[in-house]
Amino acid sequence: MCAVPVDGNMAVMIKKIGVIGSGQMGNGIAHVVALAGFNVVLNDVSLDRLKSAMATINGNLSRQVAKKIITEDARKQALDRISSADSIDELADCDLVIESAVEKEEVKRKIFHDICAVLKPEAIIASNTSSISITRLAASTDRPERFIGIHFMNPVPVMELVELIRGIATDDATFDAAKEFVTRLGKQIAVSEDFPAFIVNRILLPMINEAIYTLYEGVGNVEAIDKAMKLGAHHPMGPLELADFIGLDTCLSIMQVLHEGLADSKYRPCPLLVKYVEAGWLGRKTHRGFYDYRGDKPVPTR
């Protein structure tokens, strides 16, 4: 449990965590939080999405058992700690709520408006945003001093890093509580200033965008570009394969935040990335992106 001082004289014990959004990031966060011993309420608007998320969590936990990373007993206990909720009202008694919805600011603002109406005053709100201003998101809540960015990497159960981002109003107690919480999860922390895309995506997404420009301009095809970076730079995944894994819509959203937030033409999203998103070819989650995943083996689409 994490003790959170509030107003200098009261402590809130972080025992129960709410996670809003049950997609790839949200179910991964619920997974690691439950495995660390916290009770979790996983929230989404659809019961079907929640059912799918729980199946994914169970599958990922089972893989960890098979690899002897965790025990079968730990898997069962983690699953027992996670409950599903299709109503935001069921997060009312949470001590910390982590928003992990789609990377669209208007969607996140609506979520924060709704959750503030039901949360207890001392509860902390965090966003798993990968690029949007924490200060601006915090200003849309009734508790900017108890708002912070907790940005997990994908896939959450595997990646060791979490970025912590303070907004201009985030108080020391909230920051310290977030650090303690992330440490309890067994993750390493990188503290970022509140600039567009923070640290990891400020560096990573322009590289991916440049790889898409390399494809767009005909310098190389999908296979050649990914092979070049895997064998020439020893990257575990090629940049186009990685873009498909992240989701091309997410890649585009982050590049748009960088372009608009920093007003530098070097962050202009590649027109080919825009075209793929407009086509609904978003990568693995839609079974087509820079690769076609509908067969037995991924096949480059260009």
DSSP secondary structure code for residue 269 in this structure: P
Paired sense of beta strands 188-192 and 161-166, if any: parallel
Is 151 catalytic? The answer is yes
| Beta strands 2-6 and 10-14, pairing class | antiparallel
Query: Among residues 60, 127, 133, 201, which one is catalytic?
Result: 201
43 noted as active-site residue? no
Question: What are the start-end ranges of the E strands in the chain?
Answer: 2-6, 10-14, 16-20, 39-43, 82-85, 96-99, 124-127, 147-152, 161-166, 188-192, 291-292, 299-300
Q: Do residues 26 and 53 lie in contact, with contact meaning Cβ atoms separated by under 8 Å?
A: yes
Query: Which of 130, 131, 209, 253 is the catalytic position?
Result: 130
39 is catalytic: no
Decide if 209 is catalytic: no
133, 163, 192, 253: which is the annotated catalytic residue? 163
H/E element, 24: helix 24-35
Helix%, strand%, coil% for the chain, nearest 5: 50, 20, 35
- Selecting among 31, 103, 128, 151, the annotated active-site residue is 151
**In angstroms, rounded to a whole number, what is the distance separating the alpha carbons of residues 218 and 201?**
25
- DSSP codes of every residue in 100-169: ---S-HHHHHHHHHHHHTTS-TT-EEEE--SSS-HHHHHTTSS-GGGEEEEEE-SSTTT--EEEEEE-TT
Enzyme catalytic residues: 130, 151, 163, 201
